[in-house]
Amino acid sequence: MSAAPQKKVACKAALVNLDEASASILRDSFRQFRITAVDVTAQDGNWLSHEKFDAGVVRLEPGCETLLEAMRSSPRNRNMVVYGICAPGEHMRQVSKYGINVMLTHPLDRQSALKVVRSTHLLVLHEFRRYVRVPVITEVQLEIERARYTATSVELSGGGMSMTTKSNFKIGQNAEVSFTLPNSKPLNCSAVVSWVDPQDQSVGVRFDPADERRGLIKRWIEDYLEI
């Protein structure tokens, strides 16, 4: 007699300390992609030791660092996809080191929230083969022709990264990029500007395949995507 097939465990998203209006929108959005949203009220990370979550949504406001630190250091939940909610330009530098994966604008708009969840739900569902790049938001320092610039990462892969920045770059420029990811030492790698989109104030760089330091970035991605 063949063994009965095991029922797949539903993916869960923790809605941490959210107001009811925001929570309602996100519950509906996640539900459309087979993700169960659970309301969590907490001031510390004790809740992370009791249950496994695939995603967590946090309002990025003063004091949220305690929760983000707990989420990123939790043995069971450190690789969860973290959605941050904040007003444009609010409280980002202080939380950069926690590698927020996805940003939502406060107050939440139902259609915009659904669009964001739709574009990122594959990562929450662990369908990594269909999600080549890891969304991660962290501050990036670039050194180009002895000048220093600041950008914010959007997506990261073993071959390069995309960023938003108000600085102007040219395709083909050589760069030294420096950034920090959750649970890692500061990372550096030689790169070249591979594309520029002035309208969206975004830029992409390709890591130098000959730079041995690229291996540390690839290992972080492999560890992050580990189920």
User: Which residue bears the tokens 């938003």?
Assistant: 164
pTM of the model: 0.81
Q: What is the pLDDT of residues 42-81, one digit of tens each?
A: 888 899 998 999 999 999 988 899 999 999 999 999 989 9
What mean pLDDT is reported for the chain?
A: 90
pLDDT of residue 201: 93
What mean pLDDT do residues 105-131 have?
Answer: 86
Q: In terms of pLDDT, which residue wins out, 123 or 170? A: 170
Bridge partners (DSSP) listed for residue 226: none
Place of tokens 């022709």: 145
**Cβ–Cβ < 8 Å for 104, 73:** no
More confident residue, 79 or 7: 79
Residue-wise pLDDT tens digits, 34-45 = 999 999 998 888
Q: Which domains does the chain have, with CATH numbers?
A: 11-129 (3.40.50.2300), 135-224 (2.40.10.220)
Find the helix packing angle between 20-31 and 110-124, rounded to 10°: 50
With a cut of 70, say whether residue 97 has pLDDT above it: yes
Structure tokens at 135: 């969304």
End-to-end alpha-carbon separation of the chain, Å? 30
Instruction: Please report which helix (H) or strand (E) contains residue 29, including its range.
Output: helix 20-31
Q: Compute the average pLDDT of residues 156-179.
A: 95
